[in-house]
Amino acid sequence: MSPASNNHGIRQFDIGLLLNQSKGSGQVIIECSIDTPKGVKVADVAWASDEFMNLHGDKTPYTVAPEICVEVISPSNSKPQMQEKVRLYLNQGAKEVWLCSQKGKISYYSSTGKLEKSAEVEAQSVKSTIRKRI
């Protein structure tokens, strides 16, 4: 597996910063491991509420997904791979899964399917934080 690009790391930081600022409490986790029926998957960024952290602490891997799980899409990722990760995180309890493109465009998913915008974070905050570096 080739190393993550600098763009990947920049996107992870931007999303983590956005979640930290917009949620007000809880914990941002970079490289969050989650046990799924298809093995351990690692979300690039996750946000866990204070309640989640009180219940699960820093257990590795989590058996339940934090409320928000984010994948920054790499050029080597296929669409089916990303769709599977969305499904796995949602099935493990995530409220939302975000997919972030290389250019910073985010798609949002919940158990009801693709969302127009996040129900967890104000859309304008996402656009201004993620796109300011483009």
Average of per-residue pLDDT across 40-65: 98
Kindly state whether residue 1 falls inside one of the protein's structural domains: no
Residues of the domain holding 36: 6-131
Kindly state whether residue 34 falls inside one of the protein's structural domains: yes
Kindly state whether residue 87 falls inside one of the protein's structural domains: yes
Read off the pLDDT of residues 67-117 as tens digits, 9 standing for 90 and up.
999 999 998 899 999 999 999 999 999 999 999 998 888 999 999 999 999
Indicate whether 132 pLDDT > 60: no
Helices then strands, each counted (H, E), the chain: 4, 6
Average of per-residue pLDDT across 8-24: 92
d(CA 120, CA 56): 21
Count of structural domains within the chain:
1
Kindly state whether residue 101 falls inside one of the protein's structural domains: yes
- Structure tokens, 17: 């910063």
Let me know: does 31 contact 42? Beta carbons within 8 Å. yes
Its pTM stands at 0.91
Indicate whether 25 pLDDT > 70: yes
Kindly state whether residue 105 falls inside one of the protein's structural domains: yes
**The CATH number of the domain where 27 resides is what?**
3.90.1570.10
Q: Which helix (H) or strand (E) holds 125?
A: helix 123-131
Tell me how crowded residue 97 is: count the other CB atoms within 10 A of its CB: 25
